[in-house]
């Protein structure tokens, strides 16, 4: 990995880069290892709200000027907030790297969080919250995680609550940034036709703010038994999730969980898609999912169907779970799942943005660059015996939790 370099500046900020000679562009991300998991019920939603507010003006740029300075060069800026990270990133032609770097540096250091802008943006984010409430296929995942992670910050939705969004003040934003956006949680990551030494030079030139050196807060996690949850919503369809917590990104078994998920419900050739949609025609959307964090993941089955078919579909889901618990997966099916995962990963890496994301997550989660070859090797090492053992562990009777979102309560029977 000669084309990948990592430098830690004296102030603790890490710079990670990957040089790709055959492209004319770059993706540059300013990452903070801070997300909704680092919030409390009293400030839930503040990370996502800050993501919006960093675009609303600095000491020398208006919100419009931030956008124009990048878009006039043919590039663009964006950002996202997850439960564990916040990332501000830009794309552009390689000759515009310095300008993009300077604008991002200005945003994360010099945003003013104007009170009038806070008031306006709170209304925008509340509208976003309402959009989620109006999207049952999105809302049910928030409800599922709030259920299985009850009592933990991981269970709080990234967008927060309407009450909090209406209450945030300028001082709340400045205080949260000061305490949480620390040098040890700050990563500058780039992929594309760029030079590592240029990133170091720009960091020394444009990152002048004295960030607090460390944030020693620990991300505690205590999992307690949960019960089934019914969410009343006036919908035409029934939305259904069956699942539980399992291995996080730091665990080697996480790769086997991904393979298992693909065999069961990812893609049109998966067992559940074939059984429920193709054979029985009782569900338009049927898939498994793995939503991963550093120390834990959620694994589950998502289904949308009508109220007359939901329990039939549930019976079929349990049939498939029992089958994979009792009978080893054949080599052909296992190889197909592995090739799908490897192929999806490799094709995604044709994007400089995805390569930038992978670099950042690798360093944040593992403290090093985990090579593509290493990941492929880990996936290829998953055996039929491991899949069966994992299935019996994850799908142990009585350990799975249901969440049903519908216009009437369909929790008519206890999960086996």
What integer pLDDT is reported at residue 416 of this predicted model? 36
Rounded to two decimals, the pTM is 0.94
Cα separation, 127 vs 133, whole angstroms: 10
Q: Per-residue confidence at 411, pLDDT binned at 50, 70, 90?
A: low
pLDDT higher than threshold 60 for residue 413: no
Q: Which domains does the chain have, with CATH numbers?
A: 4-206 (3.30.830.10), 229-406 (3.30.830.10)
Ranges of H-type helices in 84-239: 97-110, 115-133, 136-148, 162-167, 170-180, 196-206
Q: Is 233 left (phi over 0), alpha (psi -120 to 50) or beta?
A: beta
Tell me the chain's radius of gyration from C-alpha atoms. 23
Catalytic residue among 18, 39, 51, 145: 51
Contact call for residues 139 and 133 (beta carbons, < 8 A): yes
Contact call for residues 40 and 205 (beta carbons, < 8 A): no
Mean pLDDT of 101-121: 98
Mean pLDDT of 218-230: 90
What integer pLDDT is reported at residue 232 of this predicted model? 94
Closest CA relative to residue 211, chosen from 11, 46, 33: 11
Q: Per-residue confidence at 215, pLDDT binned at 50, 70, 90?
A: confident
Q: What is the pLDDT of residues 315-348, one digit of tens each?
A: 999 999 999 999 999 999 999 999 999 999 999 9
Q: Longest C-alpha distance within the chain, in Å?
A: 65
pLDDT higher than threshold 60 for residue 415: no
> Going by C-beta distance under 8 Å and a sequence separation of 6 or more, which residues neighbour residue 252?
378
User: Nearest-5° angle of CA 298, CA 303, CA 308?
Assistant: 140
Average per-residue pLDDT for the chain: 95
Residue length of the chain = 416
What does DSSP say about strands 76-81 and 238-246: parallel, antiparallel, or unpaired?
unpaired
Write a three-state SS string for 100-126. HHHHHHHHHHHECCCHHHHHHHHHHHH
Mean pLDDT of 145-168: 97
Contact call for residues 199 and 190 (beta carbons, < 8 A): yes
pLDDT higher than threshold 90 for residue 274: yes
What are the Cα distances from residue 323, in Å, to 113, 264, 302, 388, 396?
A: 55, 10, 19, 10, 13
Q: Is 251 a catalytic residue?
A: no
Mean pLDDT of 217-233: 90
């Amino acid at each position: 990995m000669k084309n990948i370099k990592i430098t830690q500046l004296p102030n603790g900020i890490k710079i990670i880069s990957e040089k790709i000679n055959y492209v004319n562009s770059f993706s540059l991300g300013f990452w903070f290892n801070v997300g909704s998991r680092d919030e409390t019920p009293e400030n839930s939603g503040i990370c996502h709200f800050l993501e919006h507010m960093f675009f609303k003006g600095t000491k020398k740029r208006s919100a419009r000027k931030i956008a124009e300075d990048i878009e006039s060069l043919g590039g663009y800026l964006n950002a996202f907030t997850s439960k564990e990270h916040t990332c501000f990133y830009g794309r552009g032609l390689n000759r515009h790297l310095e300008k993009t770097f300077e604008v991002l540096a200005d945003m994360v250091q010099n945003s003013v969080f104007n009170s009038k802008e806070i008031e306006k943006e709170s209304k925008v984010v509340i509208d976003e919250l309402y959009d989620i409430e109006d999207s049952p296929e999105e809302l049910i995942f928030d409800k599922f995680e709030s259920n299985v992670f009850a009592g933990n910050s991981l269970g709080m939705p990234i967008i927060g609550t309407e009450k909090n969004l209406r209450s945030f003040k300028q001082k709340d934003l400045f205080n949260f940034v000061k305490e949480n956006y620390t040098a040890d949680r700050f990563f500058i990551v780039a992929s594309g036709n760029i030079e590592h030494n240029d990133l170091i030079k720009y960091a020394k030139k444009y990152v002048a703010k004295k960030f607090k050196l460390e944030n020693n807060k620990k991300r505690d996690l205590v999992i307690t038994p949960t019960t089934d949850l019914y969410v009343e919503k006036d919908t035409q369809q029934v939305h259904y999730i069956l699942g539980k917590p399992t291995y996080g990104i730091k665990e080697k078994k996480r790769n086997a969980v991904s393979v298992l998920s693909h065999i069961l419900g990812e893609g049109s050739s998966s067992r559940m898609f074939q059984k429920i949609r193709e054979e029985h025609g009782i569900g338009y959307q049927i898939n498994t999912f793995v939503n991963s964090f550093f120390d834990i993941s959620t694994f589950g089955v998502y289904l949308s169907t009508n109220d007359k078919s939901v329990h039939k579909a549930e019976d079929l889901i349990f049939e498939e779970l029992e089958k994979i618990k009792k009978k080893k997966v054949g080599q052909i099916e296992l190889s197909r799942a592995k090739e799908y995962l490897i192929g999806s990963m490799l094709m995604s890496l044709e994007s400089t943005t995805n390569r930038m994301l992978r670099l950042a997550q690798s360093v944040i989660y593992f403290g090093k660059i985990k090579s593509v070859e290493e990941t492929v090797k880990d996936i290829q090492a998953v055996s039929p015996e491991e899949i069966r053992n994992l299935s019996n562990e994850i799908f142990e009777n009585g350990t799975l939790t249901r969440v049903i979102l519908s216009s009437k309560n369909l929790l008519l029977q206890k999960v086996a």
